[in-house]
Amino acid sequence: MVQQMAQVGKLLIGLWMAGVTIVMFLVIPQYEGLGNAGRIIIMHVPTAWVSVLAFAISAIFSGLYLWKRKPTYDDYAVAAAEGGFLFTALATVTGMIFSQVVWGIYWNWDPRQTSIFVLLLIYAALFALRAAIDDVQRRRQLSAAYSLFAFVTVPFLIFVAPRIADSTLHPNCVFIQGSTCDGISLDVGMIGLLGDRKIQLIGMEREGDLVTAEVIVSEPGLSGETTLRPSFNLATGTMADRPEFPGLRYQLGLEYVDPSINSGLLNIEAPGTGLLDNQITLFTFLASIAGFTALFVWMLNLRADLLGLQWALAQRDGGRV
Amino acid sequence: MAGHSSTEQDPGLTLTTQQPVAQQRIVDLLQAAWAVFVKDLRIELRTRYAINAMVLFAACTAMMVSIGTTFIGLRRTEEALLIQASLLWIALLFAAISGLSRGFVHEEETRTLAALRLAAPALAVYLGKFLLNLALLALLGLITSLLFIVLVRVQVGSPLAFLGMLAAGGLSLATSTTILAAIITRASFKNALFAVLAFPLLVPPLIIAIQGTAATLAEGGWLPALPALQFLIAYSVAMFVASLLLFRFVWEA
């Protein structure tokens, strides 16, 4: 009965993932400015999510093993690490393909690339450690300790490293509409930095309820300048005209103007057809995350069972000899 | 009446007796740790195995860099400072990896692990070896930077901040690798495995240490290096606490 249910579950996951793949290529609209390459996000982000999830699960089972000393927990920790390694490799490769197509470079030591590279190294180190210790008990205990020790670095990788390094190619707050980039408040005549562009607020004019700001935007590396005129409606308190940055799909918005019209809050905004703005895209994305997570859990259980079986067989044979 | 008074006295009694006991245990632990440190230092001073390996490695690297790229010492651009800082930390990293596992591997080679396990509590062993690694790294850091200043013509713009950066970087090296040395004593291919296990854990602090050191090579004082120092100290504290919690399991394995 349980076996039949497992069979059904396996088939369901297969159908689910096939559906996600078909929708990903045929149904969802292209992302403006990225073309067909943008579709890879449906695979890339979920695999990256699963690789971090796998790492956490591996650490949890390592901790459980050190606490309870049940071999099953170690089997699960190993199975999670192996699955995680696979998904980390997939996330890296899909990211590299996208990076080459859209940004023209496979690898540029972006903070997120650095962290996933370290994650790959940690998995590899864990397997090397397991291979180098003969005694089973000792192997389990030492690799569990290393797994937990390595897990301590994760918060530093995820939260701290991207904040210290200066540049990233990864989409940030700008990418998803409705999320909050902080923007920058400038007095008239002041210079500020928005994303990787230098901006200068030259002046603001009021016509009725409409305040129009004159902003000089410099290209990265100060290779060129453009003047943009975003505006703000004082009566409704909303942005009116949001011009696009030159050569980019992002818009410059004037989010707030102080009553004396001496300073304004400027922000970078995603264009109207945001990637996750589209309902079908959003649901496909979520379905893909759910599907990959289910796939990982199935792989985890299968591999852990197999490891337990191997161990039982080895013990039985050892007993005979 | 008598029972009433005894219940009143009890909490006071336990408080006054338990506190010295806890304090005494910490003092005992620290004394044991110091004894382990002094023992290892004495062994190290007799054989000078780790010091020789580390300093010779650093000297070789400094020589190679000096022969190959002296001209970068003359430039003061941002890139040149980053290159100098990277080379310095490459020398420090590989020198450290060649010597820092010595404390535990030596015990395994001379078959004194079991005796040490009987003689001292696990935490004392960890703290003793950690102190030894810290001392080795302090010496290595000073010697390597002197070699780089002399041979590669590195000019240190903010000496105090530079020393602080070396100390913080050394601290994160020592906190991340001491427990790994204990892990690899029972494995085969010890030294190669030590490097493999240590490298992923050292990538984040080394990136930050290189950037921070480059900032201290310029004449900016403490301020530009402050975020890097904070990161390294936070990283060291996290790794140190994790080591204290996990060392028991490694030591009894």
**What is the predicted pLDDT for the residue at A247?**
62
CB neighbourhood size of B249 (10 A): 20
The per-residue pLDDT of chain A, averaged, comes to: 81
Interchain contact, A125 vs B249, CB within 8 Å = no
**What is the predicted pLDDT for the residue at A249?**
58
Asked whether residue A321 carries a pLDDT value surpassing 50, the answer given is no
Check if B237 contacts A (Cβ < 8 Å). no
What torsion do the CA atoms of A176, A170, A21, A15 make, to the nearest 10 degrees? Answer: -90
Check if B199 contacts A (Cβ < 8 Å). yes
Read out DSSP for B95-124? Answer: HHHHHTTHHHHHHHHTT-HHHHHHHS-HHH
Decide if B126 contacts B240 (C-beta within 8 A).
no
Interchain contact, A156 vs B249, CB within 8 Å = no
**What is the predicted pLDDT for the residue at B38?**
95
- Among the partner-chain residues B211, B231, B253, the one whose CB lies closest to the CB of A141 is B253
E strand segments, chain A: 184-187, 191-194, 197-207, 210-218, 225-228, 231-233, 238-239, 251-257, 263-269
Interchain contact, B228 vs A164, CB within 8 Å = yes
Interface A-B, measured as beta-carbon pairs within 8 A, has a size of 97
Q: Which of residues 119-148 of B touch A (CB under 8 A)?
A: none
Assign A106 a pLDDT band (cuts: 50, 70, 90). confident
Q: Measured between beta carbons, which residues in chain A are less than 8 angstroms from residue B199?
A: 121, 125
Q: Measured between beta carbons, which residues in chain A are less than 8 angstroms from residue B189?
A: 132
Q: What residue in B sits closest to A112 (Cα-Cα)?
A: B204
- Which sequence spans correspond to the domains of chain A? 2-164+280-320, 184-269
Residues of A with CB under 8 A from a CB of B: 66, 114, 117-118, 121-122, 124-125, 128-129, 132-135, 137-138, 141-142, 144-146, 148-150, 152-153, 155-157, 160-161, 164-165
**What is the predicted pLDDT for the residue at A158?**
63
Interchain contact, A66 vs B249, CB within 8 Å = yes
Q: Which pTM does this prediction carry? A: 0.77
Instruction: Return per-residue pLDDT of chain B as tens, 253 residues.
Output: 344 444 444 444 455 556 678 888 899 999 999 999 999 999 999 988 888 989 999 999 999 988 887 666 667 788 888 889 999 999 999 999 988 888 888 888 888 888 998 988 999 999 999 999 999 999 999 999 999 999 888 889 899 999 999 999 999 999 999 999 999 998 888 888 999 999 999 988 998 899 899 999 988 888 888 988 999 999 999 999 999 999 999 998 7
Q: How many domains does chain B have?
A: 1
Rounded to a whole number of angstroms, the distance from the CA of B17 to the nearest CA of chain A is: 32
ipTM for the complex? 0.85
Interchain contact, B249 vs A121, CB within 8 Å = no
**What is the predicted pLDDT for the residue at B204?**
87
Interchain contact, B246 vs A149, CB within 8 Å = yes
Domain that holds residue B87: 2-252
Q: What residue in B sits closest to A141 (Cα-Cα)?
A: B253
**Calpha distance B129→B33 (Å, rounded):** 8
Question: Over the stretch A148-182, which tens digit does the pLDDT of each residue have?
Answer: 999 888 778 765 555 555 445 555 544 444 444 56
Interchain contact, A128 vs B201, CB within 8 Å = no
Closest listed residue to residue A118, CA positions, set B202, B200, B208, B197: B200
Q: Measured between beta carbons, which residues in chain A are less than 8 angstroms from residue B86?
A: none
Interchain contact, B204 vs A161, CB within 8 Å = yes
Question: Over the stretch A196-240, which tens digit does the pLDDT of each residue have?
Answer: 667 888 888 888 888 888 888 876 656 678 888 888 888 887 777
**What is the predicted pLDDT for the residue at B206?**
92
Interchain contact, B197 vs A137, CB within 8 Å = no
**What is the predicted pLDDT for the residue at B189?**
81
To which residue do tokens 């308190």 refer? A237
For A39-52, what is the mean pLDDT? 88
Question: Over the stretch A232-290, which tens digit does the pLDDT of each residue have?
Answer: 888 887 777 878 777 665 677 787 788 777 788 887 765 544 445 567 878 888 899 99
